[in-house]
Amino acid sequence: EKYAKVMGVNFPKMTLDRTIEVLTDVIEEKRPELFHVITVNPEITMACQKDTSLRLIIDEAGLITADGIGIVMVSRLRGGNLPERVTGYDTLLRLLDSGNQKKWSFYFLGADPLTNEKVCEVIRKKYPALSILGRHHGFFKQTEEDKIVEEIGTLKPDILVVALGAPYAERLIHKNKSKLNAKIAIGVGGSLDVISG
Ligand code: UDP
């Protein structure tokens, strides 16, 4: 049994280590399609019970992770046994670390303008061998979205990090999947605020 079903959502039984292995393969395989990673927290799990558009986004993701100890506990009660919680923050830190070793490229979308600028400085210092191809804060107008998506599509980052809050990040990634030209896109909630210090 490779999946545990919690509230109708099929979570793969994957540790953080295994998640990073899978994502490393995705980057090295040079797939044509964007690989959408969603760290599904209890709020998203609840919301997708009624929201069919959100449900579709989760069903079409390349990989979902169980981002909540409650989800892991429920899986254990039902014998599904998810191995551990896999958060956006932990996944991002590991991707930055691997990216620094393997010279991956990143684009950082989201957080307030100052945090977005600061987090890129912090990341450049701490992970000097990865490249930051571009960045944009997350308080843009709806009318500016296409321009930002186009910029990302031109830059073709290995990894697009989106910190806009769930499920807005997930909707933006899903809607623009074919235009973003990233290998992996992941919503990371408030992680950039934490990393920027
Ligand atoms: N944010 C943003 N644009 C917005 C609203 C929020 O860039 O219009 C950023 C906010 O600055 C923070 C992140 O999105 O960095 C949301 O973090 P939160 O912890 O609320 O996200 P969640 O865990 O709910 O996904």
Ligand 1 within 6 A of 163 CB?
Answer: yes
Distance CA 22, CA 190 (A): 24
Ligand 1 atom nearest to 187, measured from its CA: 25
Ligand 1 within 6 A of 192 CB?
Answer: yes
User: Does 14 reside within a domain?
Assistant: no
pLDDT at 78: 86
User: Does 162 reside within a domain?
Assistant: yes
User: Does 149 reside within a domain?
Assistant: yes
- Residue 140: pLDDT band (50, 70, 90) is very high
User: Which residues is 163 bridged to in the sheet?
Assistant: 110
Domain limits for position 186: 22-63+86-196
DSSP string, 140-164: --GGGHHHHHHHHHHH--SEEEEES
Ligand 1 center–CA 130 separation, angstroms: 24
CATH number at residue 119: 3.40.50
Q: What is the mean pLDDT of residues 35-63?
A: 97
Tens digit of each residue's pLDDT (9 = 90 or more) over 63-119:
999 999 999 999 999 888 999 999 999 999 999 999 999 999 999 999 999 999 999
User: Does 7 reside within a domain?
Assistant: no
User: Does 68 reside within a domain?
Assistant: no
Q: Is the peptide bond before 167 cis (omega within 30 degrees of 0)?
A: yes
Tens digit of each residue's pLDDT (9 = 90 or more) over 181-197:
999 999 999 999 999 99
The two structure tokens encoding residue 133? 């191809």
Distance CA 179, CA 176 (A): 5
Number of domains in the chain: 1
User: Does 110 reside within a domain?
Assistant: yes
**Cβ-based burial of 2 (10 A; exposed 0-12, middle 13-18, buried ≥19):** exposed
User: Does 171 reside within a domain?
Assistant: yes
User: Does 51 reside within a domain?
Assistant: yes
Shortest-distance Cα residue to atom 24 of ligand 1: 165
Mean pLDDT taken over the chain: 97
